[in-house]
Structure 1
Amino acid sequence: MVFRFFNFLRTEKRRPSESGNCYGVFQANFPVDRSKVFLELENGEQYSFNDLERISGRFMHLLENLGIQSGDRIVVDVGKSAEALFFYIACLRFGVVYVPIRPQMPVAEVEYILKDIAPALVVCQPADEVKFSKLTQALEIKHMRTLGLRSDGSLMEESVFLPPRSDTIPVPPDSVACILYTSGTTGQQKGVMLTYKNLIANAEALQQIFPFRSNEILLHTLSLYHLTGLLTSINHALYAGIKIILLARVTPDTIAKFLPRATIFIAAPATYASLLELSDANDSSWQSVRFAFCATAPLHRDLADRFRKHTGRTIVDRYGMSEAMTMAANSIGERSGSVGKAVPSVNIRITDEYGRKLKPGEVGNIEIEGPQVFKGYWNDEQKTKESFRADGFFITGDLGKLDSDGYLSLSGRAKDVIVTASGGNIYPQEVERHLNAIEGIEDSVVFGVPHLTLGEYPIALLKKNDHASGLDAKLIISKLKQSISAYKLPKKFLFVDEIPKSQAGKISRKLLSERYKNL
């Protein structure tokens, strides 16, 4: 069975882009009065829509001076700031490919991405200048610049006095706008290519389901390097031409300060849980909030129910991934326990292992088709080919079921990915590969267990060998930190005599997760 969600709600702001560049669509929806505030920071500093165009236009001029051309890749490893957001917008306007990466990645992971993507420019934080200088020189990357959190760094110094460009570079709609790197099941990261068409389609679909009014204020608590924090929430705000309050420091007290002014709120489950602990997080704090979105990790029903009881507001859950952006969404008041119906223009179907369509209520592979679906994996035609059916449907690797009304419920992840509250994806096989390389470890298995506020966290079962003298969790962590990001580190290590496997020699992470869920 295939379900397609039709929503004929249209807003006056929905306009086609003649050039294919999504910034043209965004710009057409900006307020007529460009002096209106677009961005506000936690220190009270404000930027207008005029400032957005002026600062991003200066960055465009700098890119031109550096010889950067449309289609070139730019790797960006910076913190959350107004300038970081304006640089992203400049890259869209200039037609270059924006490649954000997670701050504080181990050198080995950064090096892999730089080798794979061959960027024309790398932008990093001033504190990481030495690390990136060595990498860019070794890999013969021509340009490197810095961008700090306080309007500092060479990117600002070189652009601040340049006259801003006022144009937007035309690009074909299928041109790549952004590449997101996501961990692979074998430890090799994959570059997910998202086009200008993908970005427009996703923002358009979200605006149809969750129409942002021109006077809305988005309180933004997420990072700017992943799908939801940047390409989903920021692009939707740009598409609607609304104001954003950008919080770099996300604490319950900081959120409580700005929450009464917000009409839209987006946060991870852990943030919602922390807000419930505040004595003043009551109905009045949320009085003006029309949409409260959950992001980066699964929303547990208990947390959603407690939040609704305490605040009188419903958390909106959505289903998405880097390869397909937002695929399904639950509008306010819709079915609890489901991630909702397919967003406009997206088709969702459930299939068995042979690709045959299943009936409503039957669990199988979730496959989707639509304008939000990515172009393919960077430099990996084989993986791209394997990820699509002959009729164009993308095989998500997730398991779920559709009911007779088209509501999608998730049953698990066929890829075994562990989703943390911060939005990080942990692939067990990658962590196991590094664990098994440590002297003293004969075998290992990594799996996730659910947590109310942490999303999921990884646990490792370890089998020692004859060289395990002195091996403990502290030593293992110190070795793992040399090769993988901190968020991928198992939170618990359990030493066992044998790794549990089936008679066929296979590991059931689902059974292990169930067995150790109360650990």
Structure 2
Amino acid sequence: MKKTWLTNYPPGVPADIDATCYSSLVDIFKQSCQKFAPLTAYISMGKSLSYAQLSSQSRNFAAWLQSRGIKPGTRIALMMPNLFQYPVCLFGALQAGCTVVNCNPLYTAHELEHQLNDSEAEVIVIVENFAATLQAALPNLSSLKTIIVTSIGEMLGLKGHFMNFMVRHIKHRVPKWSLPNPVRLISVLNGSGKLPFTPPTLGHNDIAFLQYTGGTTGVAKGAMLSHGNMVANVCQACAWVKPHTAEGKDFIITALPLYHIFALTANCLTFLMLGARNLLILNPRDVPALVREIGQYPFTAITGVNTLFNALLNDENFSNLDFSHLHFTLGGGMAVQRPVAERWKIITGKPLTQAYGLTETSPAVTINPLDLSEFNGSIGLPLPSTELSIRDDNGREMGTGDIGEICIKGPQVMKGYWNNPEETQKIFDPDGFLHTGDMGYVDAEGFVYLVDRKKDLIIVSGFNVYPNEIEEVVASHPDVREVAAIGVDNGAAGEIVKIFVVRKSPSLTEKQLIDFCRQSLTAYKVPKLVEFRDELPKTNVGKILRRALKE
């Protein structure tokens, strides 16, 4: 496809990036820690960690791993929420040449067992709150040799002792657990300063992450993201945001978990290169506490998903915050709904910029210009060095404005799925394009529009109905807080549309919603069934799980 989007690139953004200027993520990390040494890298629960401290502590972790005979390429699992321990262990593992396997702390024992066995992880760093899950999975784990345990408050000094007491004995958030020969992370970090460390040689082909897909469409698969993939995506993102940032002066809110690819690349890595301060939010589901915490700081950027922004907007104190320092808001992970984006602009005075990506692309593929004044409904323009093609079911490229599957080629695209050549072959075509499973189109100016997931398509009497379109209409009703649309079997006629709705007002009725939809949707798209719920099932980052509703 002709790169028509280049004519709409913001000033200063190149058509291509050169990722060879960094040999690995470790190269980026070392340069940033040296350049911004005295500045604050992370803030967690009122405590700060400087770039110099991050460098020292992560080096200690790397030296300890090396002293235990752990070789480059060894898989190290990290299972923790947004704490100082995460970046320390992340960059320590990478410096030791290891491959990081990010684990969702909310995994069941079965899910954790699958991921640790599939990745052949030999080491895990886990917060004690979730140690009971590991204990349950342990009898069936074949490769795990070393267990490192940490606590919520372990790197917070005196405040951390109080926090641990509260979490363990007052809130009872640490179930009883028993693991063989666990090592305390704090003893590792404090006792390794004098250990020798010889940095291994790393290149673009070395695997930095086995980043597992969410498993929403089947068994979770490990995307092999190389240092080259990640370096390229960080360089692509930096080229895009740099005109709107100031080195060493930005302050980003990290409410999404760092173990998720969106926050990992956007917040942890990209803003590390920019020398930003990063506010780590431990529990974004506690929205009133989240609002109180971010209200203490002059934040310049925030990333999130539609449900997070919607939750913030529905908090009565959010509108009272000071948004004068806010440069940009970046939404991804799921479609940003226009009603949410428009309310965000009204309350904050700043537009909500939509981007698009997926685990297999490290993740960023497209992003809107950050100088747009209004929400445009697009997922943006392809990033530098990115090729994009819209294909039909037979693999033929579609024309401008035609809906088909979004296919991607670029330096950020994964090497393949770990130990899964069959699934790897399915997702790549002979031209080397990765098939995303997302339906969309490109307009005449090169802006890409996401229509919906191919597998979520609803067929009503032979007509294609996309859930995103239904959800955006329903979400614009003033008494709707959240909505999800699915197709329900209707015999020979195919499917009918059903919506699940969380109400703001209990007086809202099924008839009122259906009548409201008739004003904006053609007859076959109008929901025939409405189910009101107190909440909707979501992934760890807040993406609504349509599959769970369908089941």
Confirm or deny a common fold (TM above 0.5): yes
Does the 8 A contact of 1:399 with 1:414 survive in 2? yes
**Distance change (3 Å), C-alpha of 1:195 and 1:417:** farther
2:254 to 202, 213, 220: 220
Tell me the equivalent position of 1:433: none
Does the 8 A contact of 2:22 with 2:28 survive in 1? no
Q: Describe how 1:102-121 pairs up with structure 2 within 5 A.
A: 102-121=104-123
3-state DSSP of counterpart to 2:230: helix
Q: Describe how 1:117-132 pairs up with structure 2 within 5 A.
A: 117-132=119-134
Tell me the equivalent position of 2:237: 206
CA distance in 2, matches of 1:194, 1:210: 22
Tell me the equivalent position of 2:377: 337
CA shift for structure 1 position 128: 3.2
Letter in 2 for 1:155: L
Q: Is 1:288–2:290 an aligned residue pair?
A: no
Deviations 1:35-69 (A, max 9, x none): 22111123x21111110011101111121122211
1:240 to 274, 295, 320: 274
Letter in 1 for 2:367: A
Q: Describe how 1:24-173 pairs up with structure 2 within 5 A.
A: 24-30=27-33, 32=35, 34-42=37-45, 44-133=46-135, 135-140=137-142, 141-151=144-154, 154-163=184-193, 168-173=199-204
1:375 to 404, 411, 415: 415
CA shift for structure 1 position 306: 1.3
3-state DSSP of counterpart to 1:104: coil
1:328 to 366, 369, 378: 366
Kindly indicate whether structure 1 or structure 2 has the higher relative contact order, using CA contacts under 8 Å at least 6 residues apart: 1
Aligned residues: 450
| Structure 1: stretches of 5+ with no match in the other structure | 419-446, 462-498
Letter in 1 for 2:154: S
Deviates more, 1:397-406 or 1:269-278: 269-278
**Distance change (3 Å), C-alpha of 1:180 and 1:454:** farther
**Distance change (3 Å), C-alpha of 1:280 and 1:133:** closer
CA distance in 1, matches of 2:484, 2:312: 21
Letter in 1 for 2:70: I
Does the 8 A contact of 2:378 with 2:449 survive in 1? yes
Tell me the equivalent position of 2:403: 363
Tell me the equivalent position of 1:308: 345
Does the 8 A contact of 1:363 with 1:399 survive in 2? yes
Does the 8 A contact of 2:332 with 2:357 survive in 1? no
1:175 to 195, 206, 231: 206
CA shift for structure 1 position 4: 6.7
Tell me the equivalent position of 1:500: 490
Deviations 1:63-97 (A, max 9, x none): 11222111111122222210122111112222211
CA distance in 1, matches of 2:76, 2:251: 30
Tell me the equivalent position of 1:3: 3
CA shift for structure 1 position 265: 1.3
**Distance change (3 Å), C-alpha of 1:382 and 1:208:** same
3-state DSSP of counterpart to 2:279: strand
Q: Is 1:196–2:227 an aligned residue pair?
A: yes
TM-score, normalised to structure 1, is: 0.78
Letter in 2 for 1:205: Q
CA distance in 1, matches of 2:526, 2:98: 42
CA distance in 2, matches of 1:253, 1:322: 29
3-state DSSP of counterpart to 1:115: helix
CA distance in 2, matches of 1:133, 1:177: 27
Quick one: percent identity of the two aligned structures?
A: 23
TM-score, normalised to structure 2, is: 0.74
Deviations 1:346-382 (A, max 9, x none): 1111111111111100001110100111110111101
Q: Describe how 1:359-438 pairs up with structure 2 within 5 A.
A: 359-416=399-456
Does the 8 A contact of 2:75 with 2:122 survive in 1? yes
CA shift for structure 1 position 209: 1.1
Does the 8 A contact of 1:26 with 1:241 survive in 2? no
Letter in 1 for 2:258: L
CA shift for structure 1 position 509: 9.0
3-state DSSP of counterpart to 2:262: helix
**Distance change (3 Å), C-alpha of 1:133 and 1:66:** farther
3-state DSSP of counterpart to 1:20: coil
Q: Which has the higher helix share?
A: 2
CA shift for structure 1 position 293: 1.4
CA shift for structure 1 position 187: 2.7
**Distance change (3 Å), C-alpha of 1:384 and 1:93:** same
Deviations 1:11-38 (A, max 9, x none): 9xx9866772212123323463512211
Does the 8 A contact of 1:53 with 1:166 survive in 2? no
Deviates more, 1:292-301 or 1:201-210: 292-301
Tell me the equivalent position of 1:436: none
**Distance change (3 Å), C-alpha of 1:34 and 1:263:** same
**Distance change (3 Å), C-alpha of 1:264 and 1:506:** closer
Deviations 1:464-494 (A, max 9, x none): xxxxxxxxxxxxxxxxxxxxxxxxxxxxxxx
CA distance in 1, matches of 2:440, 2:20: 35
CA distance in 1, matches of 2:437, 2:482: 19
1:317 to 337, 354, 358: 354
Deviates more, 1:291-300 or 1:234-243: 291-300
CA shift for structure 1 position 400: 0.3
